[in-house]
Amino acid sequence: MNKDLLSIDDLSREEMESILATARKDFLDLSRRDIKKVPTLRGRTIIDLFYEKSTRTSTSFELAGKRLSADVINVKADSSAVGKGESLKDTVLTLNAYAPDIIVIRHPHVGAPAFIARYTDAHVINAGDGKGGHPTQCLLDIFSLQREYGELQGLKVAIVGDILHSRVARSNIAGFRKMGMEVTLVAPPALLPRGVETLGARVSHTLDVLDDVDVVYLLRMQKERHGSTILVPSLREYIARYCVGRRHLKRGQKVLHPGPINRGVEIEAELADSGENLILQQVEAGLAVRMAIMYRIIVDAAALQDTAGARAVQAVAD
Amino acid sequence: MKAVMTRRGTRANLVVRGARVIDPAQGLDSVIDVVVEKGRITAVGKKAGKAAGLEVLDAAGCLLLPGFVDLQTHLRAPGREDEEDIASGTAAAAAGGYVAVTAMANTDPVVDTAAVLEAQLEAAEKEAAVRVTFTGSITRGLAGERLSEIWDMADAGAVAFSDDGRPVESGALLRAAFQAAQLVQRPLFLHCEDASLAAAGQMHEGTVSAALGLEGIPACAETAAVARDLEIAAYEGARVHVLHVSCAGSLAAVAAARARGAEVTCEVTPHHLVLDHQAVRSLDACTKMNPPLRSEEDRRALVAALADGGIDCIGTDHAPHAPQEKEVPFEEAPFGVIGLETAFPVLYTELVAGGDLPLEVLVRAMSTNPARVLGLTPPAVAEGAEADLCLVDISGEYAIEPERFRSRSRNTAFAGRKVKGRILLTLAGGREAFRDERFGEGGS
């Protein structure tokens, strides 16, 4: 891995496979033990810097850090100096003075993780930047799919819902394609970004295409990001056309959702409660995958340094 | 109409020897000498200016051009003197070869009454290194609700009226503004944007915004507004200058209005001529401006239109911002970049040296044409004319170094870019407004 995980584009397919193998081999079973802790990152400091409301991602990162025995500090925007007008740059410079090993950042604006990486020596992990990307979500989704389907090459997935406002869609289109999957986006035109055809996915405006895919990935309608313009004629009409229920599914088709779910909007309640969805498996995978990412980002960097150091020593010896 | 600058400093006395002198308006393009005495051009020709007592500048290999005129300059004073003021902004202008700039009205307070304008003119007489002309706002406080003191400001010396930075959303109010401006024979400088379409957009809507997840500003936010505004202007027979056109569709709307006899001029910024939306992939806040950097096709269309007369003028839209305002994630940064000190070198290097644009077209677009839009006498390299000249070294390549800018701000989209066309000397209103420190006294 590179120093930071800012975008899913930072990882090659091999690196993704390798991280997921670590998650599977070393961390997945930890939750099932009585003592849910390993000493891997003992003495390391992780700062979780969250500028947006988050339940699942923030608890997942916090728990992942704690189960690796790191010291984990949570900084929430509403309880920090941010309310006193401090800039992101100054907040990060201040936190960097504590010499953290990892800063995990969730921010409402695109590129914030790359921005803070300029001002800290810590490894920066993007836990969601505005509508930009959500690489750890992408990895845990791929992990969940691998557990369910094994090999993903050629697997067909439909991503359904509010693509326009979704950082998950942006990361997953790239990540799924990197794993050899075929991606179709399903949404009304107003919920697709202009230029979507260049992202490497097919586009459909109706759920009919679900007949031709193996997996259905649902996205929440992000009303909070819609601004003042109403993008669909009415929620009722949207639901009638895009809410996915068990009746839309074929045998063996599984449903994923990054959460939080809106029952009755993008997913029918019955489907949300059925064994056809992998939503809770995704949450479980998230913990193991984030442990693997944090472990690997530190170990790989140390290995790189060792190699560089060894080369330097060799050069001196020569 | 007033163009004011300081009367301090002595009037220039010098000979520029051996430069290639270009003045498209005079049909002039030859290697000759130009003599300036007491701030006026007294001789243009071979071996001119043998008289004693004049400084002789050896300018072999340089260009001597009519000084540039900017139609869109944000001097930020009063209100944001930490970013720019009249002294620093006009020093930056002089360093970029400009002899006149047009101050935009979106200061704090807004220039919406004759009293504010008079205070600005008074300040410029004390501080300005080059001529400054002032625009008044179209609407009070740029709020788009009622008209500013258009008639009184015209009497006080406003050259034009503009709510630049914001569109006039109400068609009825824009119509009333055209009617008011006609009485005093001033053009409106229009920032054409449908605010509801632009909404909270951060960059050009297209493939790059889709990849980055940034909210887009569709090209139709501009083209729809250009079409509407020119429709109203044509109906009123009013004179319009369209600020900072950024896309091919706007050019079509301007051409259509002209074909119907409307009196329309328009301008393009250096950054829209040189950069496209791919630059935003860096998420550098110095690639964020409004209108946004458009597609490569749009950029090519702008260059072609500048070459064929579809676009008349270059306007820098020089928009200084404090470092802390731009050192933030892209979406938190304000729109705008500075441009006075980089306009000519960047355009010369990218368009003229690259063969896309004849040099005389660039000179017209940066000097003669904008002066006409403002109702000023165009700078000319001619005997008897006041010296409004700039001398440019096109021999050596150099890197743009923001820390050397005369501007108080550093927010350029061209930091580090290798260019040719260093400005060595600017004479504005007969006075030496700028001399490059490496261009010594008495070059021969």
ipTM of the complex: 0.89
Partner A contacted by B297 (CB < 8 A): no
pLDDT for residue A278:
97
pLDDT for residue B46:
86
A109 to chain B: which residues are within 8 Å by CB? Answer: 329-332
Burial B330-350 (b: 16+ CB within 10 A, else e): bbbbebbbbbbbbbbbbbbbb
Instruction: Please state which of the ranges A149-163, A229-243, B56-70 shows the lowest mean pLDDT.
Output: A229-243
User: What are the sequence ranges of the domains in chain B?
Assistant: 14-65+384-435, 66-374
How many interchain CB pairs under 8 A, A with B?
71
Q: Contact A198/B211, CB-based, under 8 Å?
A: yes
Closest-CA residue of chain A to B206 = A195
Q: Do A21 and A42 reside in the same domain of the chain? A: yes
**Nearest chain B Cα distance for residue A116, angstroms:** 9
Is residue A315 domain-resident? no
| Confidence at B441, pLDDT banded by 50, 70, 90 | low
Facing residue for A110 by CB, picked from B213, B218, B324: B213
Q: What is the CATH number of the domain that holds A55?
A: 3.40.50.1370
pLDDT for residue A222:
85
Partner A contacted by B96 (CB < 8 A): no
pLDDT for residue A199:
93
pLDDT for residue A84:
74
Q: What is the pTM of this model?
A: 0.93
Is residue A316 domain-resident? no
Note whether B276 and B293 are within 8 A (CB): yes
Note whether B18 and B443 are within 8 A (CB): no
Instruction: Tell me what the mean pLDDT of segment A195-205 comes to.
Output: 94
Instruction: Please state which of the ranges A41-55, B38-52, B426-440 shows the lowest mean pLDDT.
Output: B38-52
From start to end of chain A, where are the E strands? 45-50, 71-76, 102-107, 123-129, 156-160, 182-186, 202-204, 215-218, 254-256
Is 80 exceeded by the pLDDT of residue B425? yes
**Nearest chain B Cα distance for residue A120, angstroms:** 15
Tens-digit pLDDT profile for residues A96-114 = 999 999 999 999 999 999 9
Number of domains in chain A: 2
Catalytic: B58? no
Set B33, B70, B317, B393: catalytic member: B317
Facing residue for A107 by CB, picked from B206, B213, B329: B329
Is residue A38 domain-resident? yes
Note whether B22 and B16 are within 8 A (CB): no
Is 50 exceeded by the pLDDT of residue A270? yes
Facing residue for B199 by CB, picked from A195, A199, A229: A229
pLDDT for residue A314:
65
Note whether A293 and A5 are within 8 A (CB): yes
pLDDT for residue B442:
45
Tens-digit pLDDT profile for residues B77-86 = 999 999 999 9
Is 80 exceeded by the pLDDT of residue A226? no
Q: Which of A110, A134, A185 should we substitute to test contact with B (largest number of B Cβ atoms within 10 Å)?
A: A110
Note whether B213 and B225 are within 8 A (CB): no
pLDDT for residue A1:
87
A-facing residues of B in 143-162 (CB < 8 A) are none
Residue type, B209: S
Is 60 exceeded by the pLDDT of residue B268? yes
What dotted CATH number matches B14-65+384-435? 2.30.40.10
Q: Do A267 and A287 reside in the same domain of the chain? A: no
pLDDT for residue B444:
38
CATH T-level topology, domain B66-374:
TIM Barrel (3.20.20)
B219 to chain A: which residues are within 8 Å by CB? Answer: none
Question: What percentage of residues in chain B have a pLDDT greater than 90?
Answer: 94
Q: Do A15 and A95 reside in the same domain of the chain? A: yes
Give B394-407 as a 3 state SS string: EEEEEECCHHHCCC
Is residue A140 domain-resident? no
Is residue A34 domain-resident? yes
Is 60 exceeded by the pLDDT of residue B194? yes
Q: Do A182 and A249 reside in the same domain of the chain? A: yes
Q: Which of B194, B197, B215, B297 should we substitute to test contact with A (largest number of A Cβ atoms within 10 Å)?
A: B215
Q: Do A181 and A287 reside in the same domain of the chain? A: no
Note whether B219 and B253 are within 8 A (CB): no
Tens-digit pLDDT profile for residues B398-410 = 999 999 999 999 9
pLDDT for residue B330:
97
Q: How far apart are CA B362 and CA B357, in angstroms?
A: 7
Q: Do A188 and A119 reside in the same domain of the chain? A: no
Tens-digit pLDDT profile for residues B219-254 = 999 999 999 999 999 999 999 999 999 999 999 999
Average predicted confidence (pLDDT) for chain B: 96
Tens-digit pLDDT profile for residues B139-158 = 999 999 999 999 999 999 99
Tens-digit pLDDT profile for residues A40-90 = 999 999 999 999 988 899 999 999 999 999 999 999 987 666 667 889 999
Question: What percentage of residues in chain A have a pLDDT greater than 90?
Answer: 82
Residue type, A99: A
Tens-digit pLDDT profile for residues B73-125 = 999 999 999 999 999 999 999 999 999 999 999 999 999 999 999 999 999 99
Closest-CA residue of chain B to A112 = B329
A203 to chain B: which residues are within 8 Å by CB? Answer: none
Structure tokens at B263: 């009196």
| Confidence at A303, pLDDT banded by 50, 70, 90 | confident
Q: Do A55 and A88 reside in the same domain of the chain? A: yes
Domain hosting residue A192, numbered range: 152-277
**Nearest chain A Cα distance for residue B213, angstroms:** 5
